Chains A and B, each alone.
Chain A
Amino acid sequence: MRQEQFVARHQAEWDAFELWLQACGERVRARRPGDAPVGLDDGEVPARYRRLCQQLALARRRGYSTPLLERLQGLMQRGHAVLYRAPPPRWRRAAEFLVAGFPQLVRSQAGCMAASLLLFAVPLVGLFVLLQFRPELIHQLLDPAQIARMEAMYDPSDPRNALGRDSGSDWQMFGHYVMNNISIGLRTFAGGLLAGVGTILVLIANGVNIGAVAGHLQAIGHGDPFWRFVAGHAPLELTAIVIAGGAGLRLGLGLVAPGRRRRRDALVHAGRIGARLCLGVAVMLLLAAFVEAFWSSTQSIPAWLKYAVSALLWAGVLGWLWRGGHGTAAAEGDDEA
């Protein structure tokens, strides 16, 4: 068939398809189910799209002119973009993910999570214990200015510690914690792309730092204000860092030991898992920032109440990660999202 005849025969179809693309396909949200169809009926579109693909293949095979091919190609690509787009996120799905999907995902990566926990907790606990017996070692870990600042911050004889901050600086600290802590969590994950080395370094550095600070404050007798401050947000923050680290290690594993996948595919797979873990980590750190800014800082609350709330939170977080989504369909694999 000559090109002109081919065009004359199908032109109307292409125009209708293009009209539909412009009117509804490319902004589906503006469209209500009751609206009159523009150009095409929505139900007809996939069939029309396949016809268009067939016509494009035919036109190519017959060597029709480049501008015609380009027009069909353009229509096809726009149609493809409409038909194969990802569904918009739903609030219900997001809630389900937080309640069930996220804990399931964490459990499905148990190995990486355990490794991350070890990398983080061993330096932390080790240093804490070590500093109780050899307090002078702190000078190998932190410089004097840091030590002085930290000692001043948690000085039990400081009257400010008895009262806490005013609400304005609470908000300021909230913003600070959101920006700082969530960024650190997300970077811990991204560091996994450096064959896991970035994540490992961040985990160990965090463990060393926290262990050193806690150990030193405990050793010099500033333990009480410190523990009262950290007890509230520790459950959320520490677990979130471990989970971000686990996601990062998973990513690094995709690069180092892709298993029976191509390295690229393993990375993409781990990236999808890691992204979902990061969404959960961001939410956890956001909550932690709330607690840290508005609860932990209020020194007037008695210690027993703070520790009770902390214990409750620990139980809640661990129970959520351990049992959340138990018995429902498993979340492993990255295909459903």
Chain B
Amino acid sequence: MPPQAVAAHERTGTAAAPAAMLDTYREVLTPEGVALHLPAAGPVPRALAWLIDLFVRVAVLLALSMLLGLLGGLGQGLYLVGLFLVFWAYPIVLEAAWNGQTPGKRALGLRVVAGDGAPVGWLPAVVRNLMRSVDMLPFGYATGLASCLYDRHGRRLGDLVADTVVVHVAPRRIDPVLPPATPQAPAQVLLPDEQAAIVAFGERAPRLSAGRQAELAALLFPLTGSAGSEGVRRLYGLANWLLGRR
């Protein structure tokens, strides 16, 4: 292997994690030695999720108060117990037992996970939610917001103490289909990330407009020696060849 290619391999070693450039991305090595990608959620989606939860809670309390209002003193006592449960137990139980999601988090596509990417357990769920009373200080989650903006992974104080992260749930991906084309060997040796870029083009371009495809393919005129739809076709050919179709 020529030294240049070795250097290129070193480069892909780091480039293999394109997410590293995004500062909210958290990478955790699992015991198996591969990295988990945890896209940390910022304060805005979390605040929205909290508002949805607030709405749900108030709705539950309203329903409770209407039902229990008929029962007099007993009803009022039960309502206060319900208030206690909705205030303290609602986030704890939902997060620990329902995949790290409250209804609000589910609606916003968020999830609480432990710092090592594993599902959040009962104790961390208890800690992060008890700490809310500190994050709320002095008003309106100001402390939590400050901590959220300061921390690299958008954690509020409760998350720091419980060692949890709120992450975006990745949407399901469909398997890529590469349009078939006559496989064609490149005229020159390509570096690994150049190969990866061409394959990525092949897998993504079918979702772009023809004009945009041609525009992107024109950038590789030195390699393909042709522009327009012919250039696109050639790139597909190269991608097919790189994927091993002969």
Residues in A lying within 8 Å of B, measured CB to CB: 1-5, 26, 49-50, 53-54, 56-57, 60-61, 63-71, 73-74, 76-77, 80-81, 84-86, 89, 166-176, 178-179, 182-183, 186-187, 189-191, 193-194, 198, 251, 264, 267-268, 270-272, 274-276, 278-279, 293, 334, 337
Contact = CB atoms under 8 A, between A and B. Distances in A.
Contacts of B192: 63
A175 B80 contact: yes
In the A-B complex, the 10 residue pairs with the closest CB atoms:
A2-B244, A168-B73, A175-B80, A86-B121, A171-B77, A175-B77, A84-B118, A53-B32, A67-B176, A271-B161
A60 B35 CA distance: 11
B95 to A, nearest CB: 12
Nearest to B176: A67
Contacts of B196: 63-66
Contacts of B244: 1-5
Interface in B181-221: 192-193, 195-196, 199-200, 203
Given A77-B37, A84-B118, A279-B126, A175 B79 contact: yes
A54 B33 CA distance: 9
Nearest to A7: B243
Interface stretch (B49-57, B83-91, B223-231): B83-91
A193 B161 contact: yes
B74 interface: yes
Interface stretch (B40-48, B101-109, B127-135): B127-135
B126 A278 contact: yes
14 contacts: A4-B244, A4-B245, A54-B32, A65-B243, A66-B18, A80-B117, A86-B120, A171-B73, A175-B81, A191-B133, A267-B160, A268-B163, A276-B123, A293-B77
Nearest to A198: B134
Given A65-B199, A275-B127, 20 more contacts: A3-B199, A65-B176, A65-B200, A65-B243, A67-B203, A77-B170, A84-B118, A85-B118, A167-B74, A175-B84, A179-B84, A183-B84, A264-B160, A267-B160, A267-B161, A268-B161, A271-B161, A272-B123, A275-B124, A275-B126
Give the interface SS of chain B, mostly helix, strand, loop or mixed: helix
B162 A278 contact: no
B175 interface: yes
A56 B29 CA distance: 13
A191 to B, nearest CB: 7
Contact of B77 (A173, A190, A191): A173
B12 interface: yes
Contacts of B123: 272, 275-276, 334, 337
Residue from A50, A80, A178, A186 whose CB has the most chain B CB atoms within 10 Å = A80
A169 B71 CA distance: 11
Nearest to B79: A175
Contacts of B73: 166-172
Nearest to A337: B123
Nearest to A83: B118
Contacts of B80: 172, 174-176, 178-179
Contacts of A54: 32
A190 B133 contact: yes
B157 A174 contact: no
B150 interface: no
A268 B160 CA distance: 7
A198 B130 CA distance: 14
Given A4-B243, A271-B161, A63 B88 contact: no
A4 B177 CA distance: 11
Give the interface SS of chain A, mostly helix, strand, loop or mixed: helix
Contact of A168 (B74, B175, B245): B74
Contact of A65 (B130, B132, B203): B203
Nearest to B36: A77
Contacts of A264: 160, 163
B24 interface: no
A278 B130 contact: yes
A123 to B, nearest CB: 23
Contacts of B79: 175
Contacts of A182: 84, 88
B130 A67 contact: no
A163 to B, nearest CB: 16
Contact of A172 (B37, B76, B124, B170): B76
Contacts of A170: 73, 77
Contacts of B34: 53, 56-57, 76
Residue from A1, A86, A191 whose CB has the most chain B CB atoms within 10 Å = A86
B72 interface: yes
Nearest to B30: A80
A179 B78 CA distance: 10
A46 to B, nearest CB: 10
B16 A53 contact: no
B127 A86 contact: no
Contacts of B99: 26
B118 A81 contact: yes
A314 B79 CA distance: 31
A23 B64 CA distance: 36
A190 B131 contact: yes
Nearest to B204: A67
Contacts of A86: 118-122
Residue from A1, A172, A187 whose CB has the most chain B CB atoms within 10 Å = A172
